[in-house]
Amino acid sequence: MTAPAIASPGQASGLTESEAARRLAASGPNEVTSERSVRLHSRILAQLRDPLITVLLGAVALTLAIGDHPDAVVIALVIAVNTAVGVAQEIRADNAVAALSALSAPHARVLRDGAVRDLPAADVVPGDVLRLGEGDIVAADAELAEATALLLDESMLTGESVPVDKAGGDALSAGTVVVRGRGVATVTATGSGSALGRIAALLDTRREPTPLQRRLAALGRVLAVVTLSLCVLVFALGLVRGLPPGTMAVTAISLAVAAVPESLPAVVTLALALGARRMVARHALVRRLPAVETLGSVSVLATDKTGTLTEGRMVVQHVWTPRVRAELSGVGYEPVGEVLVDGRPATEDELRPVRELLTAAALCNDATLRPPDPAPSDARWTALGDPMEAALLAAAAKAGCPAQAALSASRPRIAEVPFDSLRRRMTTLHTTAHGRVLVCTKGAPEAVLDPAVLAAGPDALAEARRQAARLAERGYRVLAVASRVRDEVPDPVTAAETRLTLLGLVALSDPPKPHAAATLAACRAAGITPVLITGDHPATARAVASGVALLGDRGESDGQVITGADVAAGRVADLTAVPVFARTDPQQKVDIVQAWRAAGAVTAMTGDGVNDGPALHRADIGVAMGARGTEVARQAADLVLTDDELSTVVAAVEEGRRVYDNIRRFLVYGMAGGAAEILVMLAGPLLGLPLPLRAGQILWINLLTHGLTGVAMGAEPAAPCTMRRPPRPPDQHILGGGAWQRLLLLAAVVTTVTLGAALAARTLGLPWQSVLFLALLAAQLGVVLGLRARLLTRQNPFLPLSVLASALLAAAALYVPFLSSVLETEPLGWTGIALAAVCAPGGFVAARLVRTAFRRTG
């Protein structure tokens, strides 16, 4: 927002309350505009605009027009249930995401009328003077006036995993976190005018339909045309044969309803809702139901680095001393691990220089490790302060150094030279048991490996610099550590940073999560291309990509890691040929995602920071981290991972493919049955069966097959080969990939066995129309069982139960007087029942055969 005149950073008393109120009225509250809340009627209308729902609404109108009120009620009930489930899921997910807003800055300490006040962050205005301390979230963009050892975590904005040192005059961005030190800053921009607000503005784009929505919309348009054509064709043929126009109008409309699998919306919604429920159990929250299926169609997974592929916590992995090189095991800030030399536990002699180095690093340290809370079962050690300093404390514990409290007690700090961006090192002075002064220094290698600082010869310095460069090239954050024992504290204290003894180098990194490599391998096995997009340093990005096997055998070759500057300058001919992007800004992340989409890929983007929000929104599906993710990322996403584990995405992909397969399986079953009913009506008169089925019989068959059993198909488990096949082409029709062929083959078999049973019944003098009615239903029930991916599974008992219920209701249509009268059926003897029942195994065998012929199409 446009700011009024900014107060001077040196203003001692801050703004007056009256001036702050005036500026608040002029600039508005310090809030990033979030997604506008969707009204209930808008949600309902969005559901009803679905093409298939439109067809069903037309079917309701037709059935009402012919006076078929029971069927009109049934179809309307399907529409109502589908709409209610869809709207309820959206509202529930939105409410759950709102509850995750723990990383916002609800309050800020502001200087007003000469006194520090604790205010809601929304009340902060341009010109306010902020007081910042450790753990504070910066409430608005500001200019730093005073700083004391101030270190900020900007990863949510930049993707950079290493905290940034800040000095007077530097700019601060809203949403960043103070990890060390304190400062005073003057607010320069609030709300949408802040850096966070400008990124959030990129989200203000229209959400495009998902692949499933596009495919079902195309199918709905086709079915609408087919439905109208069938009405006209059947009505005309009946008139040609001299049948009454009223009878043929009712029959034509009934066939039109049969042609449309009206329970498809219910099947789709049930399948998606079950998938969403399973995802919640697997630590994933679905914000929009179609997102479940969309993950099943994903062909490219673009992931950020910090907190997604990596732990999001610094860890000491290597220690180099002039006497020994060692590796440290363990993850996170937990002080548990081993010191290894050449892959074996270090000996006591080898541990001695490592402990000396890490003891000095632990003394020259302002961080604190906090043990896990015993209440939560998954609690972890956490850090208060600089993550790198916390990692040094954990490493010292692994090496067997005294605990931090014991070190501080035995060697109390008596003076210090704080870290700053010019010196790039920190020095602390401690008294020893003998009354002397221990000087401990740590900092950037170029700041410590200096003849003015170290008492080391040229060869020793050159070797240390070579080792530091080697570690930096591998993507590590490198610190040099030195110490010296003096007789007294020098004056000035900075004079203590001379003639120090080099203890060695420490290599830190934000390591990959334990299962990250396996997760990406599972993606590749499923035909999904992983891409790393991060705001971190190219060397760090390369190291992480190599650690998770993202670069392959060409990990060190040119062109594998590209920077955002290269993308912005147009120096990359094909963005889809690059596996790793570093130093990217939010717009460049969007450009990369858009390049993949333009190439025909279905993209998923994972992220947790504000800088990931626009790309999450632009991707076909955005996946946000719930535990450490920002509100901007969560609001932009379709799926929120509450456990922040990338492996949950693989489970979601399998779930999405299961949902899509079940929808396709229902379409094959439902439309094959509808096509068979149409073929029976068209071919029956040619074989001497004048009116094979009456309107009520068609609708009853349709209700039992498309209703009970059809909806039950939405809960079928995934096929064994689900994650061993590539994703479906984004331009493939929902009935492509062999589904049309399966549908027509099954329709032909069901038509043949049904007409055969009816002709046999007529020859035997049985009520052939009732036999045909029961045979057509039995054949379709055989098909639904034969199409199961896991034939004898117990995971979905509702399907065999629904088949049994449908069979009983079919019998009721013959033997219950009221139903028999309404549907115009006749009771059958054992011969008629046998003729109809034999059609069930015919449909079952046909379904198993087509499953074998088209095994890899789901």
Q: How many CB atoms lie within 10 A of CB 472?
A: 18
Q: Cα–Cα distance between 806 and 705 in angstroms, integer? A: 7
- DSSP collapsed to 3 states, 596-650: HHHCCCCEEEEECCHHHHHHHHHCCEEEEECCCCCHHHHHHCCEEECCCCCHHHH
Copy the structure tokens of residue 478. Answer: 């490198």
Q: Cα–Cα distance between 546 and 548 in angstroms, integer? A: 5
Whole-number Cα distances in Å, 848 to 61, 659, 845: 38, 20, 5
Q: What residues form DSSP beta bridges with 190?
A: none
In terms of C-beta distances under 8 Å and separation of at least 24 residues, what long-range contacts does 238-244 make, across chains too?
A: 241/685, 241/690, 243/690, 243/691
Beta strands 501-509 and 529-533, pairing class? unpaired
Q: Cα–Cα distance between 774 and 835 in angstroms, integer? A: 9
Copy the structure tokens of residue 256. Answer: 């039109």
Strand ranges inside 388-476, DSSP E: 413-417, 425-431, 437-443
Whole-number Cα distances in Å, 373 to 10, 378, 389, 642, 751: 42, 9, 21, 19, 67
Q: How many CB atoms lie within 10 A of CB 181?
A: 21
Cβ(351)–Cβ(400) under 8 Å? yes
Copy the structure tokens of residue 632. Answer: 């901007």
Cβ(660)–Cβ(728) under 8 Å? yes
Q: Cα–Cα distance between 819 and 813 in angstroms, integer? A: 5
Q: Cα–Cα distance between 326 and 583 in angstroms, integer? A: 31
Q: Is 304 an annotated catalytic residue? A: yes
Which residue in 71, 141, 153, 304 is the catalytic one? 304
Cα–Cα nearest to 659, from 281, 282, 277, 299: 277
Q: Report which DSSP code applies to 137.
A: B
Q: Report which DSSP code applies to 708.
A: I
Catalytic positions are 304
